[in-house]
């Protein structure tokens, strides 16, 4: 009985969050019934940099490989990003939008291009509301955090990785993650065709799927699903799974959601 009550409470909270998020996206960001309003454009070439720091309130951020250092952005009034390259660091910030009256159509989407084969020292991107996407990027350290939005990483190479969302999905594919921490309060986590030295995943509400692109026979593995099931190579392991090893470490813990591991 207690478990049924708990599941019902979680379901109600989830529905409220979904409706709240939908309302926020439609009426605050203007991507639905109200439209986006008048869109302004900005495009600029950039000086060479090896460190990227983004701190934005409302912004979709895409970082991708291309021919040269370049920045382009579409935004509505008063959401133009402010950026500066200094001492090899590109810093991008944004004016706060919550204090703007009548800004129901707020929208901002930024694309940053980095030359192919460029190895970055650090990438640090934080958005309060907006999705983050990285593709074809190499960096020593990478930290992505979205309070409300998705994190998507594809064909990247990192030594250290830290991915976090409060509400959204985390999707990583065809990437060398190095040592990695992944945290998601509400949403799915999908790690597909990736390699890693150490991988620690914490999920409060959402399932986790890990498809390793290398053998994990010598890894220490700890999988724990409080309210869910654990499957390893399509074999049902109940709610917990342990394997000893010293070649690397994989740890996955979900409060409510299943865990699927394949390699």
Q: How far is it, in rounded angstroms, from Cα 139 to Cα 165?
A: 20
Residue 99 has pLDDT above 90, yes or no: no
Q: Is residue 263 part of a domain?
A: yes
Q: 74, 40 in Cβ contact below 8 A?
A: yes
Task: List the beta bridge partners of residue 42.
Answer: 73
pLDDT for 100:
47
pLDDT tens-digit series, residues 33-90:
334 568 999 999 999 999 999 999 999 999 999 999 999 999 998 899 999 999 999 9
% of the chain surpassing 70 pLDDT: 82
Could you list the residue range(s) of the whole structural domain that residue 199 is in?
A: 172-263
Q: Is residue 117 part of a domain?
A: yes
Interstrand relation of 138-148 and 157-165 (parallel, antiparallel or unpaired): parallel
Q: Among the three residues 108, 138, 168, which one is the final residue of a domain in this structure?
A: 168
Q: Among the three residues 153, 168, 183, which one is the final residue of a domain in this structure?
A: 168
Half-sphere exposure of 156 (CA within 13 A, CB side): 30
Residue 29 has pLDDT above 90, yes or no: no
Q: Among the three residues 168, 186, 206, which one is the final residue of a domain in this structure?
A: 168
Number of domains, the chain? 2
Length of the chain in terms of residues written: 263
Q: Is residue 15 part of a domain?
A: no
Residue 3 has pLDDT above 80, yes or no: no
% of the chain surpassing 90 pLDDT: 79
Residues 69 and 107 in one domain: yes
Q: 130, 56 in Cβ contact below 8 A?
A: yes
Residues 182 and 71 in one domain: no
pLDDT for 45:
96
Q: Is residue 29 part of a domain?
A: no
Residues 163 and 188 in one domain: no
pLDDT tens-digit series, residues 236-262:
999 999 999 999 999 999 999 999 999
Residues 184 and 210 in one domain: yes
Helix then strand count (H, E) for the chain reads: 1, 23
Residue 18 has pLDDT above 80, yes or no: no
Residues 43 and 153 in one domain: yes
Q: Stretch 230-234: mean pLDDT, rounded?
A: 97
Q: Three-state SS for 178? A: coil
Q: Stretch 169-187: mean pLDDT, rounded?
A: 98
Q: Is residue 154 part of a domain?
A: yes
Residue 6 has pLDDT above 70, yes or no: no
pLDDT for 16:
54
Map 73-107 to HEC letters.
EEECCCCCEEEEEECCEEEEEECCCCCCCCCCCCC
Q: How far is it, in rounded angstroms, from Cα 3 to Cα 176?
A: 39
pLDDT for 35:
47
Q: Three-state SS for 22? A: helix
pLDDT for 38:
85
Q: Is residue 215 part of a domain?
A: yes
CATH number at 69 reads: 2.160.20.120
Residues 163 and 41 in one domain: yes
pLDDT for 105:
78
220 or 22, which is more confident: 220
Q: Stretch 161-175: mean pLDDT, rounded?
A: 98
Q: Is residue 59 part of a domain?
A: yes
Residues 144 and 184 in one domain: no
Q: 251, 243 in Cβ contact below 8 A?
A: no
Residues 133 and 193 in one domain: no
Q: Give the model's confidence band at 96: pLDDT under 50 very low, under 70 low, under 90 confident, else very high.
A: low
- The two structure tokens encoding residue 169: 């999905």
Q: Is residue 149 part of a domain?
A: yes
Interstrand relation of 51-58 and 138-148 (parallel, antiparallel or unpaired): unpaired
Residues 202 and 145 in one domain: no
Residues 236 and 252 in one domain: yes
């Amino acid at each position: 009985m207690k478990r049924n009550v708990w599941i019902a409470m979680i379901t109600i909270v989830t529905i409220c969050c979904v409706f709240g998020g939908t309302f926020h996206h439609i009426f605050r960001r203007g991507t639905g019934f109200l439209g986006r309003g008048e869109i302004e454009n900005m495009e600029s070439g950039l000086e060479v940099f090896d460190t990227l720091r983004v701190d934005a309130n409302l912004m979709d951020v895409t970082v991708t490989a291309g021919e040269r250092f370049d920045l382009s952005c579409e935004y509505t009034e008063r959401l133009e990003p402010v950026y500066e390259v200094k001492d090899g660091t590109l810093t991008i910030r944004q004016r706060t939008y919550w204090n703007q009256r009548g800004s129901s159509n707020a929208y901002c989407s930024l694309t940053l291009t980095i030359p192919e084969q460029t190895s970055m020292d650090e990438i640090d991107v934080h958005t309060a509301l907006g999705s983050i996407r990285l593709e074809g990027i190499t960096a020593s350290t990478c930290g992505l955090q979205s309070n409300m939005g998705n994190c998507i990483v594809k064909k990247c190479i990192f030594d250290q990785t830290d991915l976090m969302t409060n509400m959204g999905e985390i999707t990583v594919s065809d990437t060398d993650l190095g040592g990695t921490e992944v945290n998601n309060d509400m949403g799915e986590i999908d790690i597909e065709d990736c390699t890693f030295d150490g991988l620690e995943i914490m999920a409060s509400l959402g399932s986790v799927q890990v498809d390793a692109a290398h053998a994990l026979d010598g890894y220490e593995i700890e999988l724990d699903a409080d309210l869910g099931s654990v499957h390893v190579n399509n074999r049902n392991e109940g709610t917990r799974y342990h394997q000893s090893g010293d070649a690397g470490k994989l740890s996955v813990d979900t409060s409510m959601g299943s865990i699927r591991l394949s390699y």
